[in-house]
Amino acid sequence: MTQVIVTAPAKLNLALDVVGLLPNGYHELDMIMQAVALYERVTIKRADQIQLFCQNPIVPLNEKNTAYKAAALFFAHTGIKGGAHITIEKNIPIQAGMAGGSADAAAVLVGLNVLYGAALSLSQLCELGVQIGADVPFSLVGGTARVRGIGEKIEPLPTPNPSAWPIVVAMPGRGVSTPQAFARYDELGGGVHPDCAAMAYALRRGNMAQVCSLMGNSLQATGSAENTEDICAVLRSHGALAAMMTGSGAAVFGIFDGEQEAQQAQNQLAKEYRFAVVTHFINCGTKIAAIKE
């Protein structure tokens, strides 16, 4: 086996609650996370050292990249002497709150595990992933889940019917730094505190009306993302049942109960914003798309 191709999905936060600040400086979170049908595609080949390649010129191709960190951690943990030629096809917007960097890291962990026959379990990969970033374990698992702590506690939940609930996602012109977003939250305080336990219950019952009514993001009110409220207003004007920012921003999404309304919202947003798509819920995480011997 000389090459693997891995796909890793974007995520949205249906709910994000900042519970507190841990002694190590990390924020304790309670979230409902959802994988959606927008994927990073990562090709990994055996090599003597770690090398990164990406078509997006603003992606760092060094030790700061989550994919590089994942590869370095994999080899250090397993003791395998090797490297990787990693090509990242970026399809998830950068600094969007959609876990694009975490998806890249998850893809590298899954790909190297297969490429080098390490036979690490999903649980072991998640233990490595959380050392890279809070969203990496969920990027590995995917689907729908309640995620707590610093991202290491994952409780799978039923995924809503993809065909019944289209989602429109829009990204303004400027992204948001996650560390800066949390620093601003710490400085300003406040924000909503969505009831993630109630949302988990609603998802188990398949009650999407209640899920939408419970959506909220503690970081939105104090966030520095551009045009959040403007995008939310457009989504609601076209019939979105709920609309809000995902993660620390800057992407905004709305959930619809009709494909036509979702498409009309996407058409309007695409005229003004650099990224606007219709997508849907998926019940999977990072997976191998192809293997070459």
- Which sequence positions are flagged as catalytic? 11, 135
- C-alpha dist (Å) from residue 45 to 61, 104, 114, 121: 16, 15, 11, 21
The phi and psi torsions of 273 (rounded to 5 degrees) equal -115, 150
The DSSP annotation for 129-152 comes to HTTT-TTHHHHHH-SEEEEEETTT
CA distance 108 to 67: 6
By three-state DSSP, how is residue 24 classified?
coil
Instruction: Count the neighbouring beta carbons within 10 Å of the beta carbon of residue 99.
Output: 29
Strand 83-89 versus strand 144-149 pairing type: unpaired
Contacts of 149 (CB under 8 A, 6+ apart): 28, 29
Please work out, in degrees rounded to the nearest 5, the angle formed at the alpha carbon of residue 286 by the alpha carbons of 86 and 84. 20
**Where does residue 148 rank: exposed (0-12), middle (13-18), buried (19+ CB within 10 A)?**
middle
Say whether the peptide bond before residue 170 is cis (omega within 30 degrees of 0).
no
Q: Say if CB 141 and CB 250 are below 8 A apart.
A: no
Instruction: Count the neighbouring beta carbons within 10 Å of the beta carbon of residue 61.
Output: 15
CA distance 218 to 171: 19
